[in-house]
Structure 1
């Protein structure tokens, strides 16, 4: 399943936080890092200190062209604003192949533009791939656990970071109960039979080969269409191109004409 693939993307990068869309969209403050020069943290009302995020949701709207595309990605609590630009060309190209509505998994930078009531939070995509409802539900479970842990720490004012978050947002016990209600709302959206199964890496070449088996006619399928099939199956655009090259090299397919691919 797609969740296996996007998990490998996420593991290549530094640890990514999991927060719900309502939490991020309510963020109004950033804190500069005193430990390194890798950018400031976005501090959210639940006490999350975010620099990189891992998000799974449904694209409901997508706009832009050229070097910048932005999308609205919805979870059960609200909407993330996700952007992809020339600085992450694979994420940008992958997003071009995905048409709303569709589930996606995104790893990216949390950015807060402006301050106070006019602050707007964005996830700048660094890696992106198609996902499915199971992946979304598993993400909700993991994000709910992380959020409830933060709320418990926030209630106890357990450390310096939670104390700072409470001070910044002047958080009350009623606020904490309201945020716990947000978690309950998110959990109510998942299927009752969802469970965490074994997560194993998926080989892109095998995934693309299976996806292409019923595609194309006697002439085969166009290269760009083959890449699109790979993206819709859960590969990034770059990984889909690599997988196609591997299939050609292995003799699993050939090019009957320029720009066309046909399975053996």
Structure 2
């Protein structure tokens, strides 16, 4: 599977071109002004808006530099269901396909979600730190290629497509500084613990429901808010039922023991 690249929203939303890769590989890449060649992306940001239109979900996810347009459709039913359980605002991580519709100044880049889950502020800040690092590496490669009038094929293609200048590179470096200013100074990577799905769901359900329990769909939604995908929440619910941690007092209902 194509690796998922990290890119800031401001850079991705400014993408206006695609390019084919050498080496006999089919398909094209979305190319951004900062020199990212991407087919798939991994982004983390704040879900600020979502809406449903038939089988299509549309959302906006903001990072410190701008906003990603995100879609999810019938090709990724788990992403659709998971997104439908999340109420903005919430930090969310998305992996998906990079797309570019339209041409020229009317082109707009979007992310077609394949998988997503709710995360916390620490996960968002760590994503910002790692994305800043790879972005600065790309900008350094652009700057060197511009000064020496030579570089690898992808870097030179990005320079040609966008007519990048030294001023443009300095402006993009400023974007990175802006992103880094949003990161908490007391960031502690050790705060992030993946946890076991059944444990996350069990903890999420402890305060849910009354004498009759909660509807299964509400139990799944609670798991999603705890950081599971809809598919993983359903799997965790099956584990809890098998282990006797909960039972079904009525059809479509779940109640903890």
**Normalised by the size of structure 1, how large is the TM-score?**
0.92
User: Which of 115, 129, 152 is equivalent to 1:141?
Assistant: 129
Structure 1 alignment gaps of length 5 or more: 1-12
Q: Which residue of 2 aligns with 1:182?
A: 175
What is the CA–CA distance in structure 1 between the aligned matches of 2:52 and 2:155, rounded to whole Å? Answer: 38
Q: Which residue of 2 aligns with 1:4?
A: none
Query: Is structure 2 residue 101 aligned with structure 1 residue 101?
Result: no
Q: Which residue of 2 aligns with 1:212?
A: 205
Q: Which residue of 1 aligns with 2:102?
A: 114
Kindly state the Cα deviation for residue 185 of structure 1 after the two structures are TM-superposed: 0.3
Kindly state the Cα deviation for residue 39 of structure 1 after the two structures are TM-superposed: 2.8
Number of positions where the alignment pairs a residue of Structure 1 with one of Structure 2: 252
SS, match of residue 153 in structure 1: helix
Q: Deviations over 1:91-141 (max 9, x none)?
A: 011111111111110000000111211110000000011112111111111
SS, match of residue 162 in structure 1: helix
What is the CA–CA distance in structure 2 between the aligned matches of 1:217 and 1:129, rounded to whole Å? Answer: 27
User: Which of 60, 77, 80 is equivalent to 1:89?
Assistant: 77
Kindly state the Cα deviation for residue 199 of structure 1 after the two structures are TM-superposed: 6.1
Cα distance 1:60–1:198, how it changes in 2: closer, same or farther (>3 A)? Answer: closer
Query: Is structure 2 residue 116 aligned with structure 1 residue 123?
Result: no
SS, match of residue 4 in structure 2: coil
Q: Deviations over 1:11-42 (max 9, x none)?
A: xx642100000000100110123445553100
SS, match of residue 210 in structure 1: helix
User: Which of 252, 256, 263 is equivalent to 2:249?
Assistant: 256
What is the CA–CA distance in structure 1 between the aligned matches of 2:249 and 2:26, rounded to whole Å? Answer: 49
Considering only aligned residues, what root-mean-square deviation do their CA atoms show, in Å?
A: 1.4
SS, match of residue 193 in structure 1: coil
Q: Which residue of 1 aligns with 2:148?
A: none
Kindly state the Cα deviation for residue 211 of structure 1 after the two structures are TM-superposed: 1.3
**Normalised by the size of structure 2, how large is the TM-score?**
0.94
SS, match of residue 100 in structure 1: coil
What is the CA–CA distance in structure 1 between the aligned matches of 2:126 and 2:199, rounded to whole Å? Answer: 24
User: Which of 44, 53, 60 is equivalent to 1:56?
Assistant: 44
Q: Deviations over 1:135-162 (max 9, x none)?
A: 1111111110010010011111242111
